[in-house]
């Protein structure tokens, strides 16, 4: 049975900051941020947006009434969840008007969460072929104002429906994975911002990619000629570039040139949005599908979550995928965003809603939003 991604949609907040302006405000040469880090814009969420609201927005962009009735599993991958007990998935039941006979939960393993969700969903559909699964990656990446990681922030969500006979990406079920206890990135429960050993994280990431690519070749007698495209976890686009560059000189120049050209198409959206943490690989997939992909292409996807878990797996783009993805709406969503000044971004960054907050819907620019915090419980609404 063929199983994989049948639909994929995205949500990004409606405000962004310009990376050149951020560089100037931090007295940094803009080329460091645009070339050295590889970013152009960074999504800035409103205080009434969080992993739940963004997940609702991305899922709402792809779910039909028919999909909802067929759902048997809902998984939210996030490392910026809003409750230590209740999963983001439970909040989505009302917001998305989902039927009750669904198994739902949240998965956390840094930026690997969505891939864990996707692979779990594939297993679920193989056992329940008449059912679909909804996997959502949703995160706000925060390192703090004036930190080295500030330029690698971002926010957004990617939602995927997994089913049999997928119309976007068939997963070949060829996959290799690994876990090591590594201290490259962590966020203790008391902190809204992450702690990272950024350069060390880069080294571990590249090492995981190389180790897994070797394992994949051995396990499946594969060569680079089996693939036209490599997609990477891209919290900032330079990170994937570093892994890709390790292949230079080890594979034919023409193949390296092809992979590099396709990689550029896969990072277009990330350059505009920034870090989606666990959604980053899937924003890259969507960027590739929107900007360059061809039917029947074989892709290799590298997922990495600090801490650290890595997985390298393959998929095949399905004929007609371009009729399933709402490319115009996605491009419009990115184009229609409003730029925010660095001063306004800094001000908004400090806002943290407390118990008793009631949000005025007139001031909201996202369909799903945090409406109130009552008895320390976060309550959500959909704009009428």
- Residue set of the binding site for (3S)-3-hydroxy-3-methylglutaryl-CoA: 29, 143, 242, 275
Polymer length in residues for the chain: 384
Residue 213 contacts ligand CAA per CB under 6 A: no
**Of 47 and 198, CB closest to ligand CAA:** 198
Q: Which of 10, 54, 122, 151 binds ligand CAA (CB under 6 A)?
A: 151
The nearest distance, CB 139 to ligand CAA, in angstroms, is 8
Q: Which of 11, 16, 48, 185 binds ligand CAA (CB under 6 A)?
A: 185
DSSP 287-304: HHHHHT--TT-EEEEEEE
Q: Contact region for ligand CAA (CB under 6 A) — 27-35, 84-92, 158-166, 374-382?
A: 27-35
Helix (H/G/I), strand (E/B), else coil: 331? helix
Q: Is the bond preceding residue 19 a cis peptide, omega within 30 degrees?
A: no
**Of 72 and 307, CB closest to ligand CAA:** 307
Residue 116 CB coordination number (10 Å): 21
Residue 31 contacts ligand CAA per CB under 6 A: yes
Stretch 336-375 residues interacting with ligand CAA (CB under 6 A):
none
User: Measured between alpha carbons, how far is residue 65 from residues 76, 97, 368 in Å?
Assistant: 20, 9, 18
For the question of residue 262 being annotated catalytic, the response is: no
Residue 146 contacts ligand CAA per CB under 6 A: no
Helix (H/G/I), strand (E/B), else coil: 242? helix
Cα angle 193, 45, 371; round to 5: 105
Report strand pairing: 169-179 vs 3-11: antiparallel
**Of 101 and 249, CB closest to ligand CAA:** 249
Annotated binding site: 29, 143, 242, 275
CA end-to-end distance (rounded Å), the chain: 41
Residue whose entry in the numeric block shows the structure tokens 């000629």? 225
Which stretches within the chain are classed as H helix? Answer: 19-25, 30-31, 51-60, 65-70, 88-95, 113-127, 198-220, 237-245, 253-266, 268-273, 280-291, 321-324, 327-335, 342-350
Residue 180 contacts ligand CAA per CB under 6 A: no
For the question of residue 111 being annotated catalytic, the response is: yes
Q: Which of 110, 116, 162, 359 binds ligand CAA (CB under 6 A)?
A: 110
Q: Which of 20, 21, 36, 327 binds ligand CAA (CB under 6 A)?
A: 36
Q: Contact region for ligand CAA (CB under 6 A) — 13-21, 29-37, 44-52, 314-322?
A: 29-37
Q: Is the bond preceding residue 298 a cis peptide, omega within 30 degrees?
A: no
**Of 42 and 306, CB closest to ligand CAA:** 306
Residue whose entry in the numeric block shows the structure tokens 């399933």? 324
Residue 249, sorted as left (phi over 0), alpha (psi -120 to 50) or beta, turns out to be left
Residue 319 contacts ligand CAA per CB under 6 A: no
Q: Which of 149, 154, 240, 279 binds ligand CAA (CB under 6 A)?
A: 149
Residue 305 contacts ligand CAA per CB under 6 A: yes
Residue count, binding to ligand CAA (CB under 6 A): 24
Stretch 78-97 residues interacting with ligand CAA (CB under 6 A):
79
Helices 327-335, 280-291: crossing angle, 10 deg rounding: 110
Pick the catalytic residue: 49, 233, 272, 297? 233
Q: Which of 199, 335, 362, 375 binds ligand CAA (CB under 6 A)?
A: 199
Residue 224 contacts ligand CAA per CB under 6 A: no
Residue 340 CB coordination number (10 Å): 20
Residue 222 and residue 246: Cα distance in Å, rounded? Answer: 18
Question: 73 near 134, Cβ under 8 Å?
Answer: yes
**Of 110 and 340, CB closest to ligand CAA:** 110
Q: Which of 152, 228, 266, 371 binds ligand CAA (CB under 6 A)?
A: 152
Q: Contact positions toward ligand CAA, by CB under 6 A?
A: 29, 31-32, 35-37, 79, 110-111, 143, 148-149, 151-152, 185, 196, 198-199, 201, 235, 238, 277, 305-306
Q: Which residues are catalytic?
A: 79, 111, 233
């Amino acid at each position: 049975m063929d199983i994989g991604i049948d639909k994929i949609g995205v949500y990004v907040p409606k405000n962004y900051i310009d990376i050149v302006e951020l560089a100037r405000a931090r007295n940094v040469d803009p080329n460091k941020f645009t070339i050295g880090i590889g970013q152009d814009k960074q999504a800035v969420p409103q205080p009434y947006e969080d992993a739940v609201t963004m997940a609702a927005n991305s899922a709402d962009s792809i779910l039909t009434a028919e999909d909802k009735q067929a759902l048997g599993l809902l998984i939210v991958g996030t490392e910026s969840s809003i409750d230590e007990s209740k999963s983001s998935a439970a909040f989505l039941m009302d917001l998305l008007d989902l039927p009750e006979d669904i198994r739902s939960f949240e998965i956390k393993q840094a930026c690997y969460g969505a891939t864990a969700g996707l692979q779990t969903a594939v297993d679920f559909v193989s056992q329940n072929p008449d059912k679909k699964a909804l996997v959502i990656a949703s995160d706000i990446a925060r390192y703090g104002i004036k930190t080295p990681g500030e330029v690698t922030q971002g926010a957004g969500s990617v939602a995927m429906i997994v089913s049999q006979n997928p119309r976007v990406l068939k997963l070949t079920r060829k996959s290799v994975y690994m876990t090591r206890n590594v201290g490259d990135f962590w966020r203790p429960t008391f902190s809204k911002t992450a702690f990272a050993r950024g350069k060390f994280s880069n080294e571990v990431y590249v090492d995981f990619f190389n180790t897994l690519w070797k394992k994949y070749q051995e396990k499946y007698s594969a060569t680079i000629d089996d693939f036209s495209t490599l997609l990477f976890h891209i919290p900032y686009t330079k990170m994937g570039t570093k892994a890709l560059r390790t292949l230079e000189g080890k594979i034919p120049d023409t193949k390296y040139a092809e992979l590099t050209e396709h990689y550029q198409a896969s990072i277009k959206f990330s350059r505009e949005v920034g870090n989606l943490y666990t959604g980053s690989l899937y924003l890259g997939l969507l960027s590739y599908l929107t900007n360059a992909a061809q039917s029947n292409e074989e892709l290799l996807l590298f997922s990495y979550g600090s801490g650290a878990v890595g997985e390298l797996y393959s998929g095949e783009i399905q004929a007609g995928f371009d009729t399933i993805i709402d490319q115009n709406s996605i491009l419009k969503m990115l184009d229609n965003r409003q730029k925010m000044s660095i001063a306004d971004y800094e001000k908004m960054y400090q806002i943290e809603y407390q118990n008793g907050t009631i949000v005025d819907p007139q001031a909201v620019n996202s369909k799903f939003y945090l409406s109130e915090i009552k008895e320390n419980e976060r309550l959500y609404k959909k704009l009428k």
